[in-house]
Homo-oligomer: A and B are copies of this chain.
């Protein structure tokens, strides 16, 4: 991209993008979100935007259910069944069946549960295969789990996706992958890789953090074993909203789950002295769910069901391709490299650029209200949430980027100074 401008198509201009918005079947969905007027939000891959319905849900939970119903709301308002009810909705977005998904805990805690179950199902094998570029917390959780089990499990990290196939040996118990890479947006072929692993007798744990609500998924068609994911990115569930966990029906009754809290018991309110796990997906529950955060998350999940993943994906690809084309067209020679796959079929709903001064550049963009985010080393991430992003936003974002680069606006101490959380 640092080289000459792309010449493959007609030059894009702002009017063309406005015209695309006019024809966008998802355009009306933007009104379901409450976005600040002074912001171009390209960070839905980190925290999705606020669905307008969320406030009404919060008010209902606080005023009607908590205030009015008090303890009775565990039954009467369906609080106790919320993890399963939301799980069944998410199942429809990821190609799972009802009863294969629950919403509970955090992605990290859920990863611990399913990775442990998978290791137990492949006892005797000692290798967990993953990528060095996986989201660090996934690697940390695997590290912590392996150390705790104390059975000599090793984490084998490959440096590039092309090395995965060779790494899946007969000693591989579990292949643990994030479907869409958090930094590059690179997307794995879930069906193919799951098949490769199964051929070698290994199980696969998929992290769908950057996939759920971003790309169509068909877990059961891929014969997926286990998966985890979060609700606060493309599902617009709210900051830190509870995560989800998928276990294929065939594994559920066989899955050991050491975080064996009462919500996972076959009869939680019998208060038996001994743990007896739920027969199905319920055994992946543990303790009480944070109801307010969970209830509010339903607003975003519902909107994604209304959008349909097919329409979301079609628009996502156009937004990503437009972004890349515009960076090529407008920012040629400014030192920005594409850090995502150029092929949209291999990319999730984000495009990343690389620049040595990526951190400062992103701070300068954020100061202008163009919000993406930064990840080491030198990666500017731009996420595309098709349910609320307009085509013209892509033009305006690239125009701001171009201006920040041309003017060296980023080259100020206030933008170069690192902060703890980015």
Tell me the A residues contacting B by CB distance below 8 Å. 34-36, 39, 41, 43, 46-47, 49-50, 54-55, 58-59, 61-63, 65-68, 70-75, 79-80, 105-109, 112, 116, 132, 136-137, 139-141, 143-145, 147-151, 157, 230, 232, 238-243, 256-263, 265, 268-275, 286-294, 296, 366, 371, 373, 375-376, 419-422
Contact = CB atoms under 8 A, between A and B. Distances in A.
B62 A108 contact: no
A56 to B, nearest CB: 10
Contact of A291 (B80, B240, B270, B366): B240
Contact of A262 (B74, B137, B293): B137
Given A58-B292, A238-B292, A242-B290, A261 B43 contact: no
Contact of A239 (B63, B66, B144): B66
Closest 7 CB pairs of A and B: A106-B287, A108-B261, A108-B287, A144-B260, A290-B293, A148-B258, A137-B262
A229 to B, nearest CB: 12
B50 A273 contact: no
A271 B177 CA distance: 17
Contact of A292 (B39, B106, B107, B239): B239
- A39, A116, A149, A286: most-surrounded residue (chain B CB, <10 A): A286
A230 B375 CA distance: 35
24 contacts: A35-B67, A41-B70, A47-B70, A62-B238, A65-B239, A66-B238, A71-B373, A72-B366, A75-B421, A108-B262, A108-B287, A109-B109, A109-B286, A112-B259, A136-B262, A136-B265, A137-B287, A140-B262, A145-B258, A148-B149, A238-B291, A239-B288, A269-B420, A292-B293
Nearest to A63: B55
Contacts of A137: 261-262, 287
Given A140-B261, A420-B75, A107 B62 contact: no
Nearest to A238: B292
B421 A269 contact: yes
A273 B136 contact: yes
A38 to B, nearest CB: 9
B261 A72 contact: no
B270 A376 contact: yes
A3 to B, nearest CB: 30
Contacts of A272: 136
A141 to B, nearest CB: 6
